[in-house]
Structure 1
Amino acid sequence: MHKQITYTGMIWLLAAQLVVMLPFVFDLPLWLIPVLLFAAGWRLRVLSGAALQPGNVTKALLIGLGIGGLVLSGLKFPSLDAMATLLLLGFAFKSLEVAQRRDAIVVIFIGYFLVALHFLYAQSITAALYGMVSMIVLTGALVGVQQSVAEFSAAQQVRFNLRLSVFMLLQCLPLMVVIFVFAPRLAPLWSLPMTTQQVKTGVADRMAPGDIEKLSQSDALAFRVTFKGRKPAQHELYWRGLVFNHFDGREWRQFEQDIDSQQVQSALLTNYRWQADAIKVQGEPIAYEVVYEKTGQPWLFTLTPAMEVDGEVLRGADYRVMARQALQAPFLLKAVSYPDSQRDLELAPELRQLALELPETGDARTRALAQQLWRETGTEQAYLDRVLARFRDQRFEYTLKPPTLGASDTIDAFLFESQRGFCSHYAGSFVFLMRAAGIPARVVVGYQGGEWNAAGEYLAIHQYDAHAWAEVWLTGQGWVRVDPTTVVAPSRTEQGLEAAMQAEGSFLADSMFSVRKIAWLNGIRQQLDTVQYGWRRWVLGYDGAEQAALLKSLLGTFSVQGVALLMGGLLAAIGLLWLVLLGMTPRREREALEHQLYRRFCAALAKRGVLREPGDAPGVFAAQAAEALPAVAGVIREFTQVYEGICYAPSADGQQATRRLKALLGQLK
């Protein structure tokens, strides 16, 4: 026979459901929470007798409405978002028919699964801590639904359930650590596609005036870098991501056709393959590890050229590094770059053609200017210097608030009219001027600089570090990086965007409550970021290579037999610990508090000359002691009466009775 769930047990269950569902509202439809609250309210009214149990027709109608809401949310099928939303919908509606413990246990087990499911959306240390809280509340609900009647007051019951759930989960902690450290790191056997609900962040696959400026107003983290040796100077930190070759008069793109990331991968594997022999390696290597944040995009950012790369990535002839899948979780990359190397001393014809493309018409004034400057200079380097000098001498301004340039002739509008812009304006117009003079050039987009965290000894690159610069191909030198922004605002690459925008006051102007603007809060932010990076690096970055290195350090030489013996020993130790904690080994029973107080009562009377015989009942001994000690007779009788009440007729408030015993005992000393 299945026992009915109590009203208190139902409260525990509904609280657990709310705690489990709450973090999903940041990734899935917000209307799931009102659905849960509606179902919870109905169930509570049923338990209190104010409403009837929903019938089959009502249940079918609610399910239909839920599925309709799911369809109207625009989620694609099949996808992780759609499956998770469907599961959460069932999780919420299940509370409508919970009447017995069996039903409640099913809901709780689904809750455990949902806690694990949320780690597909967030893997931060904050998400892990919240997951622990969810597990504690779920386990407390599991304890609560098993209770038939309240044995304590409401506050005591909450403390008891939570204390027991914490104790139960702590017992699982050693086994969890062993599984995490020693379980093989296997690749997933299958996956569901993420949907557009997973908003893409970071640098986009195209660039128009205003795009990068928008990123500059975000302090979201892009990636963190740990250097194995020398940390490069700030002006050397150009994190290459995408290369834009095609310009349609307003927008820069990777290729003439608008293709997706999968087609870009195909291009990198066919027409634009990585050519290591096109690089003349020279200079000092820079070894580093990068942990990228989830962006929903496959673009990776490295120092150029990255000669050694450890990870599942693709490299292209334009020296980009690209993940094989969009980043839906933190991604670790180890690389060694040689920034002083010469690249493409002989430029392939197809790359030269890409680097010289211009629209057939438009921006006539810029084309005329390029021809004029080329006639006046006549050499590549002299022409390049002349263009940079024009940016400097004509007092162009670097600003996060550039004016609009219109729908056509945007290069002309910038160079001859507004002369106020961000890095994308300068890089795009510079490349246009190079190509108009017949010099191969292209726009490179990524990040520049970063914030050094002294406590964690790593570099943090944020979205406001997004940057665009140019590459020019020069005879005898190959591809050379040229950043026209440095001519207009040298502090941008030397000290960062905040220093460059200090006079304008536009740095993070949209983030009114940014902690970066308050020194002591910014220090706390960096300390917390250090902890988060440690979590990213050593927990989320614990892959097969890290596991093999750890096992080798523990065992000396890696072998299946050695790992099996080590795991066996650890599991045996955990089993022994469980035997002790669960009381399966002989142990002395702890004496109840009231009995401890009675022994101290008898000892206090013995000091006054009244000894209790082993066979004397508390009442008999109290009568003898009261007769022998009339001065404290009232205290003796009351103490004995309260003690007998606890032993033979316990009240709801046992703590008050024990406190009274302590007070009376104090009067005898």
Structure 2
Amino acid sequence: MGSKGEGGNNFITYTGMIWLLAAQLAVMLPFMFDLPIWLVPVLLFTAGWRLRVLAGLSSQPGNVTKVALVGLGLGGLLLSGLKFPSLDAMAALLLLGFAFKSLEVLQRRDAIVVIFIGYFLVALQFLYTQSMLAALYGFLSMVVLTGALVGAQQSVVEFSTGQNVRFNLRLALFMLLQCLPLMVVIFVFAPRLPPLWSLPLSTGQAKTGITDHMAPGDIEKLGKSDELAFRVTFKGQRPAQHELYWRGLVLNHFDGREWRQFEQDYDLPALRGALHTSYRWRPGNVQAQGEAIAYEAIYEKTGQPWLFTLTPAMQVEGEVMQGADYRVMARQELQAPFLLKAVSYPQALRDVQLDPYLRRLALLLPASGDARSRDLARRLWQETGNPQAYLAKVLERFHTRGYEYTLNPPTLGDSDTIDGFLFDSQRGFCAHYAGSFVFLMRAVGIPARVVVGYQGGEWNEAGQYLAVHQYDAHAWAEVWLPETGWQRVDPTTVVAPSRAEQGLEAAVQAEGSFLADSPFSTRKIAWLNGVRQQLDAVQYGWRRWVLGYDQEEQAALLKSMLGSLSVVKVALLAGSLFSAIAISWLVLLGMARRRPREALEHRLYRQFCAALAKRGVQRSPGDAPGVFADEAAAALPRLADSIREFTQVYEGICYAPDATARASTRQLKALLRKLS
């Protein structure tokens, strides 16, 4: 049913199977970052078996073998820890079938089914990542798939191996490039619908970045990661570095070790309900003053709803919710890059009259525990007697008592953690300082709360935007004071002023702990850091103008092209572009319908005939190669052996093609040189 180099009209060839295997590998590899990696060996095993069958070295697997393999594959999926039902499980099941299909690829139609599944899987990969690199790889996968589609139609060896690869890839690329203008027109003019990749990938997907609780050591872990959190473009002048406090969550509940936003783990539907009742956003509680800061932020996928803005964000565009604690949240967990446009007034007065519910939250403390810290708070309050002086006294203690800022603080145990930090270790990260400061405020009846988010960011000169990474994660405090409302207080800057002015790297430079777990980070090599920033600027452009191309961006673009928008204008423009593309296709197809390129062996034979003609032996148009060889050998007896050998090799290529065709054409060239 097909040996190497053979194939009936409907059966796939050995070369076609090689193409199919290459296409399957290209399609499956990106999924290995998110799905079980053992799927690739399964593909190699099944494809290897199929190749041996085509080469006549193995027999076709029977139905019992196929059922057994499918059972083993399903068992492997069950043991891989994937949740059922979920998109991860469904994608893994589809990939398993995609690999096993190799076992029964016999005819062209079987290969075409596999290739069409491959096209679907290329689209499915964008549910996992939408980066520009993923888009480029997806295009390359499409080229290989289309090359395999071309290869599946080849029933005999029409070219040498190198010629086959070049021909298939060139034709595949030509076909896909013809589709590019149509793709652009559809992208620009088609109604903008919510992307499929906004759906959750699985019921148990990993969450990244800042969470809704803070224990000693949590934010330090983020401080060792250079993963991107979000990027920001400012509409006007960029604020100073020390003013860039990106607010995410407010943590009010402390259990002696951990700070949380709520007493229990949050449920997103319940949280939505809370933001519409007692915890809802109250614009009237803000008195705007100072200069406004307008900006756009694109947040990376985290699997969480938290967004990070300058406080307070008075004008927000996007599918978001706002809370009474000045948080901004997406309505769904972020499963894709999320664009937010906002205007903030950092100097505004907030909650000059504090709501009783918020006051109660800002005074919560455990009934017992951390006795030394409570005694310290009482002594300092007796020495000062008013909130402003007390606040200054606490900050002075951090500044003068030998406290240190470090990414590697000692552990504090599970109880009396505030005492352990203030009196014993005195070495900590931002979470230690913010948490202990808020504890000391609440211990004397001053409303205070912990705020977690990011501070600062890396300015990208090439792209003119701010990139905020996980190592910029930060915690600070807010204190409520009469007549001024909520005020930001960052006790970390008392110990390490460079943290807010120059960033984490400068703050921990002495101990050398910045990205210590990433010794090969490009940030540590000057010229590589410049390349990284350039590439990041390109990626930001992709996020902003391609993934961020929504209904508003589409309307703005069409208005710039057409002036006022109307259905008739848009239809005429789109119709004109479609017509232009159709005409271009017709022209390109007409240009492509040229005489097929002459095979190399035929060109060499024409040169052979021309060389003999110069010696006086002319070939008649009706002479077969063997007849002409006999005539030429008789006329040129000194060259008779070379003439007959050349003709024999030529006839072998024409009438008995095999994998040695390339070597044979080289032999023809050598013989031709003897006759010239």
Alignment of 1:451-466 (within 5 A): 451-466=458-473
Corresponding residue for residue 74 of structure 1? 81
Corresponding residue for residue 358 of structure 2? 351
Distance in 2 (CA, whole Å) between partners of 1:301 and 1:199 is: 20
**1:169, CA displacement in angstroms?**
1.0
Name which of 248, 268, 284 aligns with 1:277.
Answer: 284
**1:162, CA displacement in angstroms?**
1.3
Residue 305 of structure 2 corresponds to residue 294 of structure 1 = no
Distance in 1 (CA, whole Å) between partners of 2:136 and 2:338 is: 21
Corresponding residue for residue 50 of structure 1? 57
Distance 1:52 1:273, change over 3 A: same
Corresponding residue for residue 253 of structure 1? 260
Distance 1:634 1:479, change over 3 A: farther
Name which of 555, 565, 575 aligns with 1:558.
Answer: 565
Per-residue CA deviation, residues 360-402 of structure 1 (Å, 9 max, x unaligned), is 0000111111111111111111110000000001020000110
Asked if structure 1 preserves the Cα contact closer than 8 Å seen for 2:600 and 2:665, the reply is no
Per-residue CA deviation, residues 419-460 of structure 1 (Å, 9 max, x unaligned), is 000000000000000000100000000000000000110000
Alignment of 1:474-513 (within 5 A): 474-513=481-520
Residue 576 of structure 2 corresponds to residue 569 of structure 1 = yes
**1:127, CA displacement in angstroms?**
0.5
Residue 594 of structure 2 corresponds to residue 580 of structure 1 = no
Asked if structure 1 preserves the Cα contact closer than 8 Å seen for 2:230 and 2:298, the reply is yes
**1:639, CA displacement in angstroms?**
11
Alignment of 1:180-579 (within 5 A): 180-187=187-194, 193-195=200-202, 198-579=205-586
**Aligned partner of residue 85 in structure 2, secondary structure:** coil
Residue 165 of structure 2 corresponds to residue 164 of structure 1 = no
Asked if structure 2 preserves the Cα contact closer than 8 Å seen for 1:27 and 1:198, the reply is no
Distance in 1 (CA, whole Å) between partners of 2:343 and 2:672 is: 71
Corresponding residue for residue 625 of structure 1? none
**1:640, CA displacement in angstroms?**
14
**Aligned partner of residue 270 in structure 2, secondary structure:** helix
**Aligned partner of residue 126 in structure 2, secondary structure:** helix
Corresponding residue for residue 5 of structure 2? none
**Aligned partner of residue 582 in structure 1, secondary structure:** helix
**1:85, CA displacement in angstroms?**
1.1
Residue 64 of structure 2 corresponds to residue 37 of structure 1 = no
Question: Which one is further off, 261-270 or 395-404?
Answer: 261-270
Corresponding residue for residue 630 of structure 2? none
Per-residue CA deviation, residues 231-283 of structure 1 (Å, 9 max, x unaligned), is 01100000000110000000000012222333222211222101000000011
Residue 173 of structure 2 corresponds to residue 179 of structure 1 = no
Unaligned runs of 5+ in 2: 1-7, 626-635
Distance in 2 (CA, whole Å) between partners of 1:594 and 1:514 is: 54
Corresponding residue for residue 147 of structure 2? 140
Distance in 2 (CA, whole Å) between partners of 1:550 and 1:593 is: 52
Distance 1:148 1:442, change over 3 A: same
**1:78, CA displacement in angstroms?**
2.6
**1:559, CA displacement in angstroms?**
1.3
**Aligned partner of residue 308 in structure 1, secondary structure:** strand
Distance 1:282 1:605, change over 3 A: farther
**1:191, CA displacement in angstroms?**
7.5
Name which of 59, 63, 66 aligns with 1:59.
Answer: 66
**1:29, CA displacement in angstroms?**
1.7
Asked if structure 2 preserves the Cα contact closer than 8 Å seen for 1:618 and 1:640, the reply is no
Distance 1:406 1:601, change over 3 A: closer
Distance 1:147 1:479, change over 3 A: same
Distance in 1 (CA, whole Å) between partners of 2:199 and 2:78 is: 18
Per-residue CA deviation, residues 132-179 of structure 1 (Å, 9 max, x unaligned), is 111111111111121111122222211221111111111111111111
**Aligned partner of residue 296 in structure 2, secondary structure:** strand
RMSD over aligned CA atoms reads 3.5
Corresponding residue for residue 110 of structure 1? 117
Asked if structure 1 preserves the Cα contact closer than 8 Å seen for 2:86 and 2:203, the reply is no
Asked if structure 1 preserves the Cα contact closer than 8 Å seen for 2:233 and 2:295, the reply is yes
Amino acid corresponding to residue 217 of structure 1 in structure 2: K
Distance in 1 (CA, whole Å) between partners of 2:191 and 2:524 is: 45
**1:339, CA displacement in angstroms?**
0.5
Distance in 2 (CA, whole Å) between partners of 1:235 and 1:64 is: 60
TM-score (norm 2): 0.90
Asked if structure 2 preserves the Cα contact closer than 8 Å seen for 1:80 and 1:192, the reply is no
Asked if structure 2 preserves the Cα contact closer than 8 Å seen for 1:32 and 1:89, the reply is yes
Distance 1:218 1:634, change over 3 A: farther
Amino acid corresponding to residue 131 of structure 1 in structure 2: G
User: How many residue pairs align between the two structures?
Assistant: 662
Corresponding residue for residue 105 of structure 2? 98
**Aligned partner of residue 333 in structure 1, secondary structure:** strand
**1:11, CA displacement in angstroms?**
1.4
Distance in 2 (CA, whole Å) between partners of 1:446 and 1:38 is: 48
Per-residue CA deviation, residues 521-556 of structure 1 (Å, 9 max, x unaligned), is 111111111111111111111111111111111111
Asked if structure 2 preserves the Cα contact closer than 8 Å seen for 1:81 and 1:197, the reply is no
**Aligned partner of residue 113 in structure 1, secondary structure:** helix
Distance in 2 (CA, whole Å) between partners of 1:57 and 1:648 is: 43
Amino acid corresponding to residue 300 of structure 2 in structure 1: E
TM-score (norm 1): 0.90
**Aligned partner of residue 61 in structure 1, secondary structure:** helix
Alignment of 1:650-661 (within 5 A): 652-653=661-662, 656=666
Distance 1:577 1:273, change over 3 A: same
Asked if structure 2 preserves the Cα contact closer than 8 Å seen for 1:391 and 1:488, the reply is yes
Question: Which one is further off, 56-65 or 337-346?
Answer: 56-65
Question: Which one is further off, 649-658 or 430-439?
Answer: 649-658
**1:567, CA displacement in angstroms?**
1.2
**1:38, CA displacement in angstroms?**
2.3
Distance 1:420 1:61, change over 3 A: same
**Aligned partner of residue 533 in structure 2, secondary structure:** helix
Distance in 2 (CA, whole Å) between partners of 1:114 and 1:286 is: 43
**Aligned partner of residue 232 in structure 2, secondary structure:** strand
Amino acid corresponding to residue 170 of structure 2 in structure 1: R
**1:664, CA displacement in angstroms?**
9.3
**Aligned partner of residue 445 in structure 1, secondary structure:** strand
Question: Which one is further off, 257-266 or 239-248?
Answer: 257-266
Amino acid corresponding to residue 214 of structure 1 in structure 2: K
Distance in 2 (CA, whole Å) between partners of 1:261 and 1:126 is: 32
Asked if structure 1 preserves the Cα contact closer than 8 Å seen for 2:405 and 2:495, the reply is yes
Amino acid corresponding to residue 91 of structure 1 in structure 2: F
Identity %: 73
Amino acid corresponding to residue 64 of structure 1 in structure 2: G
**1:66, CA displacement in angstroms?**
2.0
